[in-house]
Chains A and B, each alone.
Chain A
């Protein structure tokens, strides 16, 4: 702190010239939790991207076809994947439990004899893809809405804000469920474009849409303060056209808010995706997501709990990492928004 008072020293002037992003990055790097979270997220993403490698070259299974009659080599013995229950009469069959061996059903099989570990990795691809894309799309739309509403003010702001109010009043999950149920049966047809009902674009767009009001609100608030700021007034006084002010003066100053929103929106999107998939109106079978695997595991929860427990732990780890990262980024960029974590 004391060095800030002596701008003549060369190291201080070098630090002063570092932009806000550089400064924020420096703070973030020193945030241990955020760095650990980033590493965890990278690790999970890479693992999920390697899903085909695991399924084809390590486990030699197809995680999308039923394998009820299959067998697996364990300690040199052929073991049935569907095994008789250990009740006195050996009634009914249960899938094989966790073997904890990389190549042979490490997390066991689901009720269709499919390798849970392979499905977990493939499911992670879908879950992460949907979460990241939905968050990106949502933030882009919210940025447009927030900037237009905040900068234009007046009637435009009133109309957009009322629309956001209305969307916000419908409970988020019910809104997403309604949109999913009308698209899940027959898909979507907009003019010449047809989107099949099992297309991942559908959950992505739905999740992005329902969270737009949530993300647009802080953006609009920030833009409204910026609009009254001196440099915007100065730009307007110089006769700079409105679109230029928005792009050159407003947008760079809103970016901090948007960047801080990104991990939090991704976390919310991942939770929403898993909930929709759990209700079987998100990712459609035979494709997997962490939510659908939990749904598959529901019937096996007392006999083979690992089927549902493993994807749940994956969700918790990723969402927790995203939340910690979000906290770290908010501290680093020093953006305050009053009402997070609602819905």
Chain B
């Protein structure tokens, strides 16, 4: 048990270093142009370019540049954006984080509830038209680009049906801090939550249904049925509980990826100033330091979150916990 946790920690550390090298290489060693010009931004003055070259050590070998970059990102945290009038990048990322977390958490609640309901219902009515209909619906959900869905949602709630009773409560685009106005926060986020959740409802309900159907043949399910438990009880308390293991580990991955920038498209469409939208704005004016900071911090966040999920998994699964499997 302790060994397993230690091994997982070592692995995490390795992946963290690997990721930082990968991101570094993508930004500074992609063949093409001089990274100095990329950092300094469009139409930078020669003085700025010279300063950037010395500051980032572009006149030194790659390993030195790597160390310098990591120091700027994680130790001194004084990475500055030259395009954006010398704005410090790291605090900017942390300021945007609550918006992203609000968006993803709400969407996660919706997609977990909806997909558990849909997946269980489909598995219970396996083979019937309800099952086929729900799974088709899930497939449609997987096939909709989220930025398009967001635009259509905006079209309906902000313009076409905004004057009807249905959507008159929807406020204009933008984020309202929870501390300032909890109700406003909720109303501003409901539509983005549902938009972001659609894809995951599709994926999770299909995964859960497949898992529930697969688990039906297991010995303990047969035993439960043989004991004379009702089909609903067997499905919910014996089947669903087992299927939750896959569900939870998948959830941990996706949640972390979304907080780490996967919600970018949703944030852009709904004008929510989160980490993703920050990255998007940086794309517009080629603000490389900012993009690099968001990518690096998200990747680190995802890796750490995955490690935490894995360790919880170690603690929760009795087969793994007692070293039986």
Contact = CB atoms under 8 A, between A and B. Distances in A.
Interface string A292-329: 00100110011001001101100110011001100100
Contact of A301 (B155, B246, B260, B265): B155
Interface in B126-154: 139-140, 142-145, 147-149, 151-152, 154
B169 to A, nearest CB: 19
Q: What does DSSP make chain A's interface, helix, strand, loop or mixed?
A: helix
Given A169-B302, A279-B283, A187 B22 contact: no
Contact of A178 (B27, B152, B260): B27
Nearest to A339: B250
A188 B31 CA distance: 6
A228 interface: no
Interface residues of B, number: 58
Given A308-B148, A343-B257, A182 B283 contact: no
Given A179-B26, A320-B139, A341-B207, A173 B264 contact: yes
Contact of A294 (B15, B142, B148, B257): B148
Interface residues of A, number: 55
B283 A280 contact: yes
A305 B147 contact: no
Interface in B233-262: 246, 250, 253-254, 257, 260-262
A186 B33 CA distance: 6
A186 B261 contact: no
Contact of B283 (A177, A301, A327): A177
- Residue among B143, B262, B280 with the highest chain A CB neighbour number at 10 A: B143
A173 B203 contact: no
A32 to B, nearest CB: 12
Interface string B24-54: 0011001111000010000000000000000
A219 interface: no
B191 interface: no
B23 interface: yes
A274 interface: yes
B143 A267 contact: yes
B19 A274 contact: no
B213 interface: no
A177 B291 contact: yes
B262 to A, nearest CB: 5
Interface string A258-296: 000000000100010011001111000000000000100
A316 B140 contact: yes
Interface string B291-306: 1101100110011001
Nearest to B29: A182
A341 B302 contact: no
Contacts of B143: 267, 315-316, 319-320, 323
A167 interface: yes
Contacts of A185: 33, 38, 286
A278 B276 CA distance: 14
A183 B30 contact: yes
Given A162-B18, A169-B303, A187 B207 contact: no
Nearest to A298: B151
Contact of A183 (B32, B140, B147, B294): B32
B251 to A, nearest CB: 11
A174 interface: yes
Interface in A77-126: none
A274 B302 contact: no
A62 interface: no
B32 A188 contact: yes
A310 B34 CA distance: 40
A301 B202 CA distance: 26
Given A181-B288, A182-B32, A278-B147, A170 B299 contact: yes
Interface in B186-243: 202-203, 206-207
Contact of A341 (B22, B206, B264, B306): B206
A263 to B, nearest CB: 12
Given A169-B19, A302-B159, A309-B148, 18 more contacts: A162-B15, A167-B22, A170-B23, A170-B302, A171-B302, A181-B286, A182-B32, A182-B38, A185-B33, A188-B32, A190-B31, A274-B145, A302-B155, A311-B148, A312-B144, A312-B145, A316-B140, A341-B203
19 contacts: A163-B18, A169-B303, A169-B306, A173-B262, A174-B260, A174-B264, A174-B279, A177-B279, A178-B295, A182-B27, A183-B32, A186-B32, A189-B33, A280-B283, A298-B151, A309-B152, A311-B148, A323-B139, A341-B202
